Structure 1
Amino acid sequence: MLPIASRPQVRAYLRALFTDYPGRLAGVLALHVTGAAAGLAAPPLLGLLVERVATGASTVTVDRIALAIAGFVVAQAVLVRCARVAAAQLAERVLARLREEFVDGVLAIPLSTVERAGTGDLLSRASRDVAQTSDSVQIALPMIVVSGLQMLLTLAAVGLVGPILLLPALVGVPVIYLSSRWYFNRANAGYLRETAALARMADGLAETVEGARTVETLGWQQRRIRRTQEQLEGTYAAAMYTLKLRTLWFPLSEFGYAVPAAVALLAGGWFVMEGWASVGQVTAAVLYFVSIIDPLDRILSYIDMLQLGQASFARVIGVRAAAGAPVPADGPKPVDEVLVARDVRYSYVDGRDVLHGIDLAVRPGERLAMVGPSGAGKSTLGRLLAGVHAPRAGAVELGTVPLEALPLDELRGHVALVTQEHHVFIGSLRDNLTLARPGATDAELCAALETVDALDWALALPEGLDTADLSLSPAQAQQLALARLVLADPHTLVLDEATSLIDPRAARHLERSLAGALEGRTVIAIAHRLFSAHDADRVAVVEDGRISELGSHDELVAAGGAYAALWRSWHGLSLQQGVDDPDDHHGGDRQPEGQ
Structure 2
Amino acid sequence: MKTFFRLVALVKPYLWWMALAAFIGFATTGSGIGLLMTSAYIIAKAALQPPMVALQVGIAGVRFFGLARGAFRYAERLISHNITFKILAKLRLWFYDAIEPLAPARLMHFKSGDLLQRVVDDIQSLENIYTRVLGPPLTALLVTALMWFLLGSYSVSAAMIILCFHTLAGIGVPILTMQLSRGISVGIMKHKAEEQVLALDLIQGIGELQLYGNLPAHLAAMQSAETGKLQLQRKNAVIEGLHESLTGLLMNGAVITILWTLIPSISSGATANGIALSVITLAVMASFEPFLPLPSTIKHIEADQHAGERLFEILDAKPETIAPANPIPFPSEHAIQVKRLSFTYPGSTAKALDSLSFSVLPGEHIAIVGPSGAGKSTITALFMRFWNSREGCINIGGHNITLFDPEELRRNIALVSQKTYLFAETIRENLTLAAPGATDDDLKKALTAAGLSHFASKLDEWCGQHGMKLSGGERQRIAIARILLQRAPIMILDEATANLDGITEKEVTETLTAISAGKTLITITHRLKAMEKYHRIFVLEKGKIVEQGVHSELMAGNGLYRRMWELQHMTELG
Is 2:488 the counterpart of 1:490? yes
| 1:535 counterpart letter in structure 2 | K
**Residues 101-140 of structure 1 aligned to structure 2 (within 5 Å):** 101-134=94-127
Mapped to 2, the partners of 1:266 and 1:202 lie a distance apart of 51
Deviations 1:174-218 (A, max 9, x none): 5763553465579686544543443343223323322333344xx
Give me the whole-angstrom Cα distance separating, in 1, the residues matched to 2:198 and 2:404. Answer: 34
Distance in 2 between the 1:442 and 1:263 partners?
A: 72
Q: Answer with 392-401 or 120-129: which moved more.
A: 392-401
User: 1:448 aligned to 2:446?
Assistant: yes
Instruction: Write the distance in 1 (CA, Å) between the matches of 2:201 and 2:71.
Output: 52
Instruction: Report what 2:201 is aligned to.
Output: 207
Give the letter aligned to residue 269 of structure 1.
W
Quote how far apart the aligned CAs of 1:165 are: 0.6
Structure 1 alignment gaps of length 5 or more: 578-595
In structure 2, the partner of 1:501 is: 499
Aligned in 2, Cα 1:152/1:299: closer, same or farther, shift over 3 Å? farther
Task: Identify the match of residue 221 of structure 1 among 210, 213, 230.
Answer: 213
CA contact 2:247–2:291 (8 Å) conserved in 1: no
Aligned match of 2:262 in 241, 254, 271? Answer: 271
Q: 1:174 and 1:266, CA in 2 relative to 1: closer, same or farther beyond 3 A?
A: closer
Q: Is the Cα contact below 8 Å between 1:5 and 1:315 reproduced in 2? A: no
1:353 to 338, 350, 353: 350
- 2-structure distance, mates of 1:322, 1:5: 17
Provide closer, same or farther for how the CA distance between residues 153 and 397 of structure 1 changes in structure 2, counting only shifts above 3 A. Answer: farther
Q: Secondary structure at the match of 1:539?
A: strand
Cα distance in 2, alignment partners of residues 334 and 367 from structure 1: 20
Deviations 1:328-375 (A, max 9, x none): 674244555325254422225x14335142423332433232222223
Cα RMSD, aligned residues only: 3.7
Q: Is the 8 A contact 2:122 2:308 kept in 1?
A: yes
Distance in 2 between the 1:36 and 1:486 partners?
A: 63
| Shift in Å, 1:263 | 4.0
Residues 32 and 146, structure 1, Cα contact 8 Å, conserved in 2: yes
Q: 2:171 aligns with which of 172, 177, 190?
A: 177
Q: How far, CA to CA, are the matches of 2:182 and 2:489 in structure 1?
A: 49
Q: Secondary structure at the match of 1:211?
A: helix
1:526 counterpart SS class: strand
CA–CA distance in structure 1, aligned partners of residues 516 and 186 of structure 2: 49
Note if 1:251 corresponds to 2:230.
no
Distance (whole Å) between structure 1 residues aligned to residue 480 and residue 160 of structure 2: 76
Alignment of 1:334-349 (within 5 A): 334-335=330-331, 337=334, 338-340=336-338, 342-347=340-345
Counterpart position of 1:198: 192
Aligned residue type for 2:217: R
Structure 1 residues 52 and 204, CA gap change in structure 2 (3 angstroms): closer
Q: How does 1:371-410 map to 2 (within 5 A)?
A: 371-391=369-389, 395-399=393-397, 403=401, 406-410=404-408
In the superposition, relative to structure 1, how do residues 451 and 99 fare at CA in structure 2: closer, same or farther (>3 Å)? same
Whether the aligned pair in 1 keeps the contact of 2:174 and 2:294 (CA below 8 Å) is: no
Q: How does 1:134-173 map to 2 (within 5 A)?
A: 134=127, 146=139, 149-169=142-162, 170-171=164-165, 173=167
Q: What SS is found at the alignment partner of 1:531?
A: coil
The alignment status of 1:82 with 2:56, answered yes or no, reads: no
Residues 515-536 of structure 1: CA deviation (Å, up to 9, x unaligned): 1221232222222221254433
Task: Name the counterpart of 1:543.
Answer: 541
Over 3 Å counting, the alpha-carbon distance change for 1:129 and 1:495 in structure 2 is same
TM-score, with structure 2 as normaliser: 0.84
The answer to whether structure 1 residue 458 and structure 2 residue 455 are counterparts is: yes
Distance 1:167 1:483, change over 3 A: same
Q: Does residue 295 of structure 2 align to residue 300 of structure 1?
A: yes
**Residue 285 of structure 1 aligns with which residue?**
280
Q: CA deviation at 1:37?
A: 3.6
Q: CA 1:5–1:552 in 2, change beyond 3 Å: closer, same or farther?
A: farther
Note closer, same or farther for the CA distance 1:283–1:548 as it changes in structure 2 (3 Å cut): farther
Q: 1:521 aligns with which of 515, 519, 522?
A: 519
CA distance in 2, matches of 1:200, 1:399: 49
Distance 1:77 1:426 in 2: 43
Deviations 1:410-451 (A, max 9, x none): 121132432222244444433222121011123332332233
When residues 257 and 310 of structure 1 are mapped into structure 2, their CA distance, relative to the original with a 3 A threshold, is farther
Q: Secondary structure of 1:127's match? A: helix
In structure 2, what is the Cα distance between the partners aligned to 1:86 and 1:291? 23
**Counterpart in 1 of 2:327?**
331
Give the SS at the match of 1:117: coil
Question: Following TM superposition, by how much is the alpha carbon of 1:66 offset from its aligned partner in structure 2, in angstroms?
Answer: 3.0
Shift of 1:10: 1.1
Contact kept? 1:371, 1:526, Cα under 8 Å: yes
Query: Is the contact between residue 247 and residue 292 of structure 2 (CA under 8 Å) also seen in structure 1?
Result: no
Q: Compare 116-125 and 532-541 and name the one that shifted more.
A: 532-541
- Measured against aligned partners, the alpha-carbon deviations of 1:388-426 in whole angstroms (never above 9, x if no partner) come to 333465555545666566444212113243222224444
Match of 1:31?
24
User: Could you list the per-position Cα deviations for residues 366-385 of structure 1 after superposition, in whole angstroms to 9, with x for gaps in the alignment?
Assistant: 32322222233322333233
Query: Partners in 2 of 1:573 and 1:311 — Cα distance?
Result: 55
Where 2:373 maps in the other structure, the secondary structure is coil
* 473-482 vs 270-279, greater mean Cα deviation: 270-279
User: Structure 1's 397 and 113: CA in aligned 2 closer, same or farther, altered over 3 A?
Assistant: farther
State the SS of the aligned residue for 2:496. Answer: coil
Question: 1:537-591: per-residue Cα shift (whole Å, max 9, x none)?
Answer: 33232323433334433443444322232233334444x34xxxxxxxxxxxxxx
Partner Cα distance (2:148, 2:216) in 1: 57
Measure the CA separation in 1 of the matches of 2:145 and 2:392: 62
Distance 1:37 1:472, change over 3 A: same
CA displacement, residues 304-327 of structure 1 (integer Å, 9 cap, x when unaligned): 456435544554566544584963
Q: Would you say how many aligned residue pairs link Structure 1 and Structure 2?
A: 561
One-letter code of the match for 1:297? L
One-letter amino acid of the counterpart of residue 6, structure 1: T
Residue in structure 1 matched with residue 433 of structure 2 by the alignment: 435
